[in-house]
Amino acid sequence: MVGCIYALIVGFFIERRLTLKELPELVWRSTKITAIIMAIVVFSSGFGILIAQERVAVHLSEWLSANIEQKWVMILALNVAFLILAAVMDEIAIMVVLGPMLISIANTFGIDPIHFGTIIVTNVALGMATPPIGYCLFVGMAISGLSIGAVSRAIWPFLVVMLIGLMLVSYIPSITLGLQGILH
């Protein structure tokens, strides 16, 4: 609410690009964008509840711990799983539902909990922008007026850079834990 009031003050009085005549259209556009975003959040939260009820994280962690022995393969498998889930689930649901369940696997492989948390957050950020479901794409589509295909095509170079960043964070723990080492 504070942000909206601030934007109105700036638009009306500082930049003087807004008029009272334009305000209803602005409110209508904002309402449509908010409705799109909220619908996506509701559906992805529902999917998160389904994942929790079906104990997908428990089954995933059991399968991973039974079938994978190398740390780098485990990190890769977790990255793929989190990336797929982040493209269709709400980020809060992923962090709250899956994070605690999979931390035991991370501990088994000697992955620092802070490093593991950073891997999860980085995956979630990447998944939110991954076509076709990532809801940041729908926000970009709603704001820009472009089609989902146009937004998806435009974001690929950024996704490649984000994937490189994910791999660096995943496989070079000092990137994540460097500040912790400096502070201690």
Question: pLDDT tens across 14-29, in order?
Answer: 888 888 898 899 889 8
184 pLDDT higher than 70: no
Rg (CA), the chain: 20
Mean model confidence pLDDT for the chain: 82
pLDDT-based confidence at 5, cuts 50/70/90?
confident
| Per-residue pLDDT reduced to its tens digit, 108-143 | 788 888 888 889 889 888 888 887 777 788 778 877
